[in-house]
Amino acid sequence: MAGVDYSGRYDVIVVGSGAMGSATAYYLARRGKRVLCLERFGIPHAMGSSHGHTRIIRLAYLEHPSYVLLLRRAYELWREIQSIAGEQLLYITGSIDAGPEGSFVFKGSWDSCKLHDLPHEVLTGAELRRRYPGYRLPLEHLALVQPEGGFLTPERCIVSYVMAAQALGAELHAHERVLEWVPLEAGVRVRTDRGAYEADKLVVTAGAWVGKLLGVLEGLAVPERQVLAWLQPTRPGYFRPDTFPVFNLLVDEGRFYGFPVHSVPGFKFGKYHHLEEKTDPDQLDREVHERDERTLREFAERYFPDGCGPTMDLQTCMFTNTEDDHFVIDVHPEYPQVSLASPCSGHGFKFASVIGEIMADLAEKGMTHHNISMFRLHRLTRPRGLRGRSIPREEQAAQTVTEQNGRSRSFLGTPDVRSFW
C-alpha cells in the first residue's frame, strides 16, 4: 500500500478509533499525552459496530444494576463533549424496557431503578399504547418507562471526539492497518502497512478485530452479524422523538430494540442476536437478504403496525460477544503496558465516553477509580480447543527474542503478536 512512512515515539498508541478509541484518544490528549490513534478504515466508518445514525442510551439498565454508576458518568461526559463540539449528540426521548412481568428485560430494568432510586413508571401494554400510540404490545406485558433514556448519534460522536483530540495535538491516522505489535521492556512497538511506531503504552480498542490482535481474547471475543431496518411509518406522528421513546422489548419473536425517526427516513429497529450468525470480521456477509428483512418486518407488523410502511434502508453491523454478555475492560495479564476495552456484546456504545476516561486511566496509571471489577478478563473461560495453549504451533517455530542496545526486548511469536487488523 502506498503511503508515507511515518515514525516516532509516543506516550500512548491507541489501535482503533471507533467509539471507544476516539474517546480514549481525546481523554489522553487532554491529560497532555502524546497520542497516536491508528484506524484501519475511515473516520467514521460503517465496517464495524459504531454506525447507523442512532444508538440507544438508557439509564435503567436491565443487564446489571452495576452499570448504572458508569452510565451516570457517561451522561455527564456526553454532555461535555457535545458542548465542546457545538452540536447535539445526546437526545432524550425516554426509554421503554418491556416484556412479560417476570422477564429479565422488564424485571432487570425495574430492579436497577429501585436500587439506584431512578425515576420511573410501570405501565401495562394497554396503558403504554394509550400514551404512545405507535406501540402495540401485548396487553398483559409490563413496560418500565424511564424518562432519561434516549439516543446518541454515533458517527457524530466519533467525529466530535476525534476533532477534539486533534485540537489537543493527538495524531489520528485513518486507512492505516496494524500488522503486528510487540512488547518491549520500555513499552511497545507497532508496525502498520505505512510505518512503525513505539510508545510507552498501548491501548487496544479494535472492536470485532480485538481477538485477532490479542491472543488473550482469542475465542473469547466472538463477532456476530447483525441487521438493522429502517421502515417508513404510515403514521409519522407516532414515531417522532417527542412521541416515541427508544425501546428494548422481549416478545415471542425474541428481544428487539428500536428508535424514533431521526436524521434519515424511517423508524429504526433490530433484533438482538439477529440470526445468531457467528462470523469472522474480515469475512462478514455485508449483503442483506430476504430472510433478514422478513424477520424484522414480521416483528414490526405485529407490534408496530403504524411503523411498517415501505423499507427505507437495511444495514449490517456486528456485535462482539463474551460468554456472559458483559464487557472486557482490563490491563493485559502479561504486559502491563497494554490495556484493552472490548468486546462489548452489543450494548457498549452508550458507555464509550466513560470507557474512554477509564482507558486513559489504565494507560496513565494502570488503575482507575471507576469500578471495573465485573469486566476483568480473568472471569472468562477459554474455549475447550484453546485451553492450555499458550503459543500456536506455527508461531513456536518462529519465536525469537531480540536484544536492542541491551535495553529493549521484542517477544516475536507470542500469542499477542497479532497481525492483519
Question: What pLDDT digit, counting tens, does each position of 43-67 carry?
Answer: 999 999 999 999 999 999 999 999 9
Is there a common fold for 6-48+155-221+325-412 and 55-152+222-321?
A: no
Query: What's the N-to-C CA distance of the chain in angstroms?
Result: 15
pTM above 0.85, yes or no: yes
**Would you state the pLDDT for residue 233?**
98
Regions of the chain short of the pLDDT cut 50: 1-6, 385-421
Among the options 317, 322, 344, 368, which is catalytic?
A: 317
The closest alpha carbon to 347, from 272, 274, 276, 280, belongs to 272
Active-site residue flag, 311 = no
How far is C-alpha 64 from the chain's CA centre?
17
Active-site residue flag, 240 = no
**Would you state the pLDDT for residue 7?**
56
Among the options 40, 53, 55, 418, which is catalytic?
A: 55
- As its CATH architecture, domain 6-48+155-221+325-412 has 3-Layer(bba) Sandwich (3.50)
How far is C-alpha 148 from the chain's CA centre?
20
For residue 154, the 8-state DSSP code is H
C-alpha cell at 252: 415471542
The closest alpha carbon to 13, from 44, 41, 38, 42, belongs to 38
**Would you state the pLDDT for residue 255?**
97
Place of cell 462489548: 344
**Would you state the pLDDT for residue 343?**
87
Active-site residue flag, 54 = yes
Region for 183 from its dihedrals, namely left if φ exceeds 0, alpha if ψ lies in -120 to 50, beta otherwise: beta
The closest alpha carbon to 22, from 203, 188, 200, belongs to 203
C-alpha cell at 381: 473461560
Among the options 45, 177, 273, 409, which is catalytic?
A: 273
Active-site residue flag, 317 = yes
Q: Which residues pair with 198 in a beta bridge?
A: 9, 189
Among the options 24, 54, 205, 279, which is catalytic?
A: 54
The dihedrals phi and psi of 195, each to the nearest 5 degrees, come to: 175, -170
Q: How far apart are CA 343 and CA 189, in angstroms?
A: 23
Place of cell 478509533: 17
The closest alpha carbon to 326, from 45, 70, 37, 59, belongs to 70
| Cβ contacts of 273 within 8 Å, gap of 6 or more | 224, 254, 255, 319, 346
CATH ID of 55-152+222-321, from 3.40.980.10, 3.40.50.300, 3.30.1050.10, 3.30.9.10: 3.30.9.10
Active-site residue flag, 113 = no
CB 186 within 8 Å of CB 200: yes
Residue type for position 361: D
Active-site residue flag, 51 = yes
Residue-range domain boundaries for the chain: 6-48+155-221+325-412, 55-152+222-321
Among the options 189, 350, 368, 418, which is catalytic?
A: 350
Active-site residue flag, 326 = no
Among the options 40, 268, 332, 418, which is catalytic?
A: 268
Place of cell 486513559: 360
